[in-house]
Each structure stands twice: as C-alpha cells, then as structure tokens.
C-alpha cells in the first residue's frame, strides 16, 4: 500500500506541478504568474510532507514550518510592486 500511495501522490503532484508551470508560462499578467508560483511552492511543500509521512522521518518538518511562515512574503512583495508601478503610470 505504501508504494501505491507513493505512486498515486507522485503522479498527482507531477500533474499539478506541470499545470502550475503552464500557468506560469502562459499567465497573461505578472500577478497570474505570482499566484501560480505560490501554488508551485505549495506543491513542493506537499511533496516534502508526503515524503515525511510515507517514510516516517521528520527531517524536513522545520523546513515545512518555515515555508508556511515566510512563503507568502514573495507574493505580497510582488503585489505591492505591481500596484505601485501601475499607480504611478496612471498618475502621470
């Protein structure tokens, strides 16, 4: 069962990551890409968690905690940058 779970989750996560990468490549705007890369980060976190649960170790637990804590800073930064630039463009 362990192998079956590993295979299923690996396939699902691979599909998910591929889709997110497609959205990063296609995404009409910068914000779409940021959103998709956020999802990609979540998928990496999910892969770490699944590895820990299946193989019963906790090597990456604190990496996961750090991911959930600071993962949002990137998208917030980009969101601010985007709104600032557009705002100035509209004003001038």
Partner 1 sequence: MTPEAGGVDAVIDAVTAVFLVLGALMSLTATIGLLRFPDLMSRMHAATKPQVLGLFLLLAAIGLQMRQWWVWPVLVVAWIFQLLTVPVSAHMVGRAGYRTKHLHPELLSVDELEAVVRRSAAEQEGSGTGPASAAGPAEDPELDDVLGLGEAGDGALRGAAGQNLDDRGDGRGDQGEGKG
Residues 4-43, interacting with partner 1 (CB under 8 A): 4-5, 8-9, 12-13, 15-20, 22-23, 29, 31-32, 34-36, 38-39, 42-43
Q: What is the DSSP letter of 29?
A: S
Give one DSSP letter per residue of 4-31, joined into a string: HHHHHHHHHHHHHHHHHHHHHHH-SSHH
- CA 42 from centroid of its chain's CA atoms: 4
CB of residue 30 to partner 1, shortest distance in Å = 9
Q: Are 45 and 67 in contact (CB under 8 A)?
A: yes
* Contacting positions for partner 1 (CB under 8 A): 1, 4-5, 8-9, 12-13, 15-20, 22-23, 29, 31-32, 34-36, 38-39, 42-43, 45-46, 49-50, 52-54, 56, 58, 61-62, 64-65, 68-69, 71-72, 75-76, 78-80, 82-84, 86-87, 91
């Amino acid at each position: 069962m362990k192998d079956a779970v590993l295979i299923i989750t690996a396939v699902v996560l691979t599909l998910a990551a591929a889709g997110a990468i497609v959205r990063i490549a296609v995404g009409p705007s910068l914000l779409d890409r940021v959103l998709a890369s956020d999802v990609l980060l979540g998928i990496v976190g999910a892969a770490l968690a699944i590895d820990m649960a299946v193989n019963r170790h906790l090597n990456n637990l604190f990496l996961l905690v750090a991911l959930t804590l600071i993962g949002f800073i990137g998208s917030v930064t980009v969101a601010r940058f985007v709104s600032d630039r557009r705002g100035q463009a509209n004003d001038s």
